[in-house]
């Protein structure tokens, strides 16, 4: 089935540093990738939609200068958390849509556990 | 925008019993309703989905029903097993491939 590979699976960084998270669609072309944030025991909250070759669309309340999204190719989307602070600690997960007929549904990356100390 | 409400937040059932989770949505333009199962620290896994032109869909022990008039859809798990224990999320989008709005999730615990 369709696979989205997400790296790293976990990362610990110091306050003030930046962290880049990568999501690659391995067997389909993802013109769109969705980025979610999930706090413990909570739901997935959509942060932004990345679009190949154009600017990302951010959800209300999400700081675009803090969460930089790049989608330079049909198989790679990245999320960079800039100047990270402890409150940015969370589970970040991406999702692509392989298209109807390909086992249906969105396929999710394995997630990145970010801890900012 | 779309708002999806999900109930209950927790559900404890005895092995072999049925479990039902209900969701309502606000945007009548929503047409795609997937259900995901997420185990702790792992990615959500699609378990079943339904589109607006269908009222019910079944896959072995799992079924989903959709009432477009009332704007609600439900997940039914029959003959529950301990491995069904997880968090289940409903979601809605206007089109397959569009933005997904998730419900708050239901923690299902199946006790032997």
- pLDDT (tens digit per residue) in B48-70: 999 888 899 999 999 999 999 99
Chain B contact present for A10, CB below 8 A: no
Contact: A42, B104; criterion CB under 8 Å? yes
Q: Would you state the structure tokens that stand for residue A68, as one six-digit string?
A: 């930089």
B33 touches chain A (CB under 8 A): no
pLDDT value, residue B23: 98
B104/A32 Cβ within 8 A: no
For residue A103, pLDDT beyond 90:
no
Residue A11 is predicted with a pLDDT of: 98
Q: Is the pLDDT of residue B96 over 80?
A: no
Cβ neighbourhood burial of B48 (10 Å; 0-12, 13-18, 19+): buried
Q: Is B84 helix (H, G, I), strand (E, B) or coil?
A: helix
Residue B112, pLDDT above cutoff 70: yes
A104 pLDDT exceeds 90? no
Mean pLDDT within A100-116 = 82
Q: Cβ B46–A93 below 8 Å, yes or no?
A: no
Residue B41 contacts A, CB cutoff 8 Å: yes
Structure tokens at A78: 């990245």
Closest alpha carbon within chain A to B6: A43
**Confidence (pLDDT) at B53:** 83
B96 or B4: which carries more pLDDT confidence?
Answer: B4
Contact assignment for A111 to B41 by CB distance below 8 Å? yes
Which chain B residue lies closest to A97 (C-alpha atoms)? B97
Question: What does the alpha-carbon distance between residue A77 and residue A31 come to, in Å, rounded to a whole number?
Answer: 10
C-alpha distances in Å from residue B87, one per residue of B8, B21, B45, B47, B101:
11, 11, 11, 12, 16
Does any CB of chain A come closer than 8 Å to the CB of residue B31? no
Across the interface, whether the CB atoms of A49 and B41 are under 8 A apart is answered: no
Could you read off the pLDDT of A59-102 as tens digits, one per residue? Answer: 999 999 999 999 989 999 999 999 999 999 999 999 998 876 55
Q: Are B102 and B87 in contact (CB under 8 A)?
A: no
Average pLDDT over residues B82-106: 94
Per-residue pLDDT of A21-52, as tens digits, reads 999 999 888 889 999 999 988 999 999 999 88
Residue B86: pLDDT band with limits 50, 70, 90: very high
Query: A42, B96: Cβ pair inside 8 Å?
Result: no
- Band (A53; pLDDT cuts 50, 70, 90): confident
Q: What is the per-residue pLDDT for A100? A: 60
Nearest to B99 among A46, A91, A93 (CB): A46
Give B44→chain A minimum CA distance, Å. 7
Cβ-defined contact of B89 to A43 (cutoff 8 Å): yes
The pLDDT value recorded for residue A101 is 56
Annotate A50-68 with DSSP letters as a single string.
EETTS--EEPTT--TTTEE
Average pLDDT over residues A108-115: 96
pLDDT score for A98: 83
Contact A103, A11 (CB under 8 A): no
Contacts of A18 (CB under 8 A, 6+ apart): A80, A81, A82, A83, A84
Residue in chain B closest to A49 (alpha carbons) equals B99
> In this complex, is the C-beta atom of B47 within 8 Å of any C-beta atom belonging to chain A?
no
Q: Does B53 touch chain A (CB under 8 A)?
A: no
């Amino acid at each position: 089935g369709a696979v989205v590979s997400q790296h790293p699976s976990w990362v610990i960084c110091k306050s003030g540093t930046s962290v880049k998270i990568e999501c690659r669609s391995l067997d389909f072309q993802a013109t769109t990738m969705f980025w979610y944030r999930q706090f413990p025991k909570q739901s997935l909250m959509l942060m932004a939609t990345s679009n190949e070759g154009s600017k990302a669309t951010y959800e209300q309340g999400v700081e675009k200068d803090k969460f930089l999204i790049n989608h330079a190719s049909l198989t790679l989307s990245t999320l960079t958390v800039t100047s990270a602070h402890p409150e940015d600690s969370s589970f970040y997960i991406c999702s692509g849509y392989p298209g109807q007929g390909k086992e249906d549904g969105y396929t999710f990356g394995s997630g990145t556990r970010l801890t900012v100390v | 925008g779309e708002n999806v409400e999900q109930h209950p937040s927790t559900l404890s059932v005895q092995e072999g019993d049925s479990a039902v989770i209900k969701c309502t949505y606000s945007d009548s333009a929503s047409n795609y309703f997937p259900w995901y199962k997420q185990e702790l620290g792992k990615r959500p896994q699609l378990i079943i989905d339904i589109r607006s032109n269908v009222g019910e869909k079944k896959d072995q022990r799992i079924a989903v029903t959709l009432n477009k008039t009332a704007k609600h859809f439900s997940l039914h798990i029959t003959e529950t097993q301990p491995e069904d224990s997880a968090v289940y999320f409903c979601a809605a989008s206007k089109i397959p491939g569009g933005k997904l709005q998730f419900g708050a999730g239901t923690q299902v615990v199946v006790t032997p």
